A and B are shown apart, each in its own frame.
Chain A
Amino acid sequence: MTTNQIGCEDCAFHNVNSLKKLGVDTSDTDYVIALAGNPNTGKSTVFNALTGLRQHTGNWPGKTVVRAEGGYLYDDKKYKLIDLPGTYSLLSTSQDEEVARNFILFGKPDVTIIVVDASRLERNLNLVLQILEITGKAVLCLNLIDEAERHNIKIDERELAKNLGIPVVATIARTQQGIPELLSTIRDVAIGKIICKPRKVKSLSASLEESVNQLAKKIEEQFPGLPNSRWVAFRLLEGDERITEAVLNNELKELV
């Protein structure tokens, strides 16, 4: 988890500035929640189930290319939900992936919901692992469990939660099944009742691991307490201009 004190993250004004920069109106909002996931996982359906909006949900990859926003009230707190573009990864140069990764990094959402297709878990996990390198405040929404069941797939949610270090909620967003549990889990992560221990990618080759650690250590020296120094290191090795800029103009300090 981050080194922030619980009190800070609880506060309505926590990281308001960086969100405003990303074009999010945070007035009147207690928590900002990002919604990420592969295309075709029912992400937009989850968005609608949470917000009551009826955004059209298409059955083709790349439907949500623009960021959609909605909100809901839960336990007297106002949540703002940002629907990020559906992507398979956060590592390429396409605009939708850039939007998604920069929002999670620089926008510091209070919680990131990662929607995955239960019948295609392995492929979906690639994105999950990348997101967990950026943020630890995440909830895995294991959607479409009805389709998985039809394909004779059963998923051990507890095992999955243990391995990923974040709460897992099984849902069928189309019929609202699991949405109440999802709502309460989001709240628990937002208020710090659930503390996540996000899984970091382990199976890196020795030479890569060494370089990343060396770079991450140097980053932490300059930006003590940065929760995602490894991700920043990945991006710098990749030659990401936006991150290079954020290092050079000290913007990373705001992410501590």
Chain B
Amino acid sequence: MEHPLLFLSLLLDALGLPAHGGNSTLAKILAPHMQYSFLSMIICIVLAKMATSNMQMIPKGVQNIMEAFVGSLEDFITEQTHDKKKTLIIFPMIATFALYILISNYMGLIPGFMSPTSNLNVTLGCTAISIFTYHALGFRFHGIKYLKHFMGPVPAMAPVMFPIEIFSHIGRILSLSIRLFGNMVSKEILLGLLFMLAGPYLAPLPIMFLGVLVCLIQAFIFMMLSIVYSVEAMAEGH
């Protein structure tokens, strides 16, 4: 298959670096999804830096946008947790996910860029962080009694409930990662097909409009589910 035209890959090609994937470690680090993942990380850091470097009492520009984003997100999480302390514990992770995934998703709509989230490895990485964090939070809030949550309410039912819980957690991993990946990659493939088959000008426009919506919804869902699972793990016994 032909390589899509990616600006960062062309740039790295010009510098003589392996930019289209391969088996060496450097090629793996500089694969296209990694390049664009780094780019969206850099955008996140730059946004944070711009928002906090010149803080004013009456916010302007980037500070204003970021304050609105952070404030509304904090309210949203507090609605779920009902506890300021718990909110502050999970807030950094959730805010990072929201910003990173939103930027990554929308990057795919610009010609010459791709969404890092249209690669399963990236979404699986985000999911791993989320899953590991909520289990760690469960152990932190309940100690070893967290394992009792897996056993169900009745001790006699434990041999049946334990596999059920395991499968439900595996299902969470799969649904969290594959949903984001599938939506993004389907959008990209559809856009590519329409560009090639139906003519370059207005044919991909409806899919692009749908893409704008899907990007926002998927970022919201990922954030929402991370919150719900964390809250569920931190909640007092069932």
> Is B a genuine binding partner of A?
no
B interface with A by C-beta (< 8 Å):
none
A interface with B by C-beta (< 8 Å):
none
